[in-house]
Structure 1
């Protein structure tokens, strides 16, 4: 369904509407709500609400970069949750969506009963690192606008971060490719400029104040994000790191059944924390 939130059309997909328990799921860069289809099929007893983030899928992709800042994205999410009459829920985010989920939790801690982060980070610690990343993201954004979506996707699906996806069945690889190809140049470019890792505020310094249960999920073949998750766990008062063997960055794509099992385990482990 499409909601109009603060003048922006926001696409929302819902599975298992009758359930009492709700998980909100946020996709990664170049993704859509549809990325959770397989995971949702393994969680038939849980209501799942997935949202296309700004500039992605069927949600609007404004031309002004100001709509894409992390602050604006989490405000848009909050207004979306109000329209959906959500009070407290489990929040799950993958990669870019994980950064959004963590940022939302830091801003609205009472709304989130439990946080599940897949291959996510709290941003970059130093301004020097963030400045370098902003330059790289700006260069990539310009390239997307100049060369178009297909040229970008041809490059993006071959970066080292997604090497493990080359072993997936061809039909699954094609679904992921089509999801990426369905994006718009302005949406992806402005997402990089507005809420890329270099553009967002670092959240490392806030981790120790997030007292709710946080489950960090990484694939064993994604060494960079495994290390980030280990460091995050040291800072989080109630954090747990789950390592999934023989998977890379997108565990929910590479092994959706095991990913769903980890989600169910997290809900059972923290039963009573959320309504």
Structure 2
């Protein structure tokens, strides 16, 4: 595996690459509090048939932690990704995004559709459509960001891992739960708080009106136990009926963590369908 630190627009972005350059490429973007390591088990299932690239997003993992929240905005992160893909000479690839990484993946694809051969969104959304909802969410994110900086990373993680969104993860083996906790504890207070302020769901613009006009094949994956995001995915699918949506039984928000082999198999089968169908959705 190539473990790289690449200079991009004033940042040092951490990238993990596996596989030969001639193979089709799958790029993975993690969620809030995650790192490229969250994809390890999934990426192992792609070995030999795809080149995989996992990226630490701004303020997470080994990527630079900017001091100003504005540097975490959706617009900045889209341009960081575009510059990174230019640096890596990636003309086209498949893009997989989870939760926050899914929102970034969707926004990137809307702006640079020709690079993305297919988009896979796990437990993600196009943002909040209603301005009042965005204002309320922005205030909630600001409050949480303040608590992270005031109370520290350990206190935050203690609370974060017990929110209802991650209830299904409590049934995971102890070693896996500890690995998830350690990944979260390795983050910095500044990185997480600025991420909430700069690219929280309340801060980004809504992309709901862009869905129906997207030319890319899109695959939505949600967990049966994650009712909120199952509903969001169905609403997205209603606006873009050619997209595919699968609900994974007995899985929560982070399907790639709870059922990595199944998650990888679903993606590989979808990409094979795309390749055989000549790009059909």
Whether 1:40 and 2:43 are equivalent positions in the alignment is yes
After superposition, what is the alpha-carbon deviation per residue over 1:38-70, rounded to whole angstroms, capped at 9, x for unaligned?
001111121110100000000001101111000
Aligned residues: 274
Distance in 1 between residues matched to 2:120 and 2:216, nearest whole Å: 11
Whether 1:2 and 2:5 are equivalent positions in the alignment is yes
Alignment check: 8 A CA contact 1:18 1:47 kept: yes
Distance in 1 between residues matched to 2:54 and 2:20, nearest whole Å: 12
Whether 1:94 and 2:93 are equivalent positions in the alignment is no
- Runs (5+) with no aligned partner, structure 1: none
Per the TM alignment, residue 211 of structure 1 is displaced from its structure 2 partner at its CA by 2.0
Normalising by structure 2, report the TM-score: 0.96
**Structure 1 runs (4+) greater than 3 angstroms displaced:** none
SS at structure 1 position matched to 2:114: helix
Per the TM alignment, residue 19 of structure 1 is displaced from its structure 2 partner at its CA by 5.1
Distance in 1 between residues matched to 2:64 and 2:80, nearest whole Å: 12
After superposition, what is the alpha-carbon deviation per residue over 1:142-178, rounded to whole angstroms, capped at 9, x for unaligned?
0000000000000000000000000000000011001
Aligned equivalent of 1:105, options 81, 92, 109 = 109
Distance in 2 between residues matched to 1:24 and 1:194, nearest whole Å: 23
SS at structure 1 position matched to 2:31: coil
Distance in 2 between residues matched to 1:236 and 1:204, nearest whole Å: 10
SS at structure 2 position matched to 1:62: coil
Counterpart position of 1:50: 54
SS at structure 1 position matched to 2:204: coil
Normalising by structure 1, report the TM-score: 0.98
Whether 1:28 and 2:31 are equivalent positions in the alignment is yes
Counterpart position of 1:231: 235
- Kindly report the root-mean-square deviation, in angstroms, between the aligned alpha carbons of the 2 structures: 1.0
Per the TM alignment, residue 208 of structure 1 is displaced from its structure 2 partner at its CA by 0.6
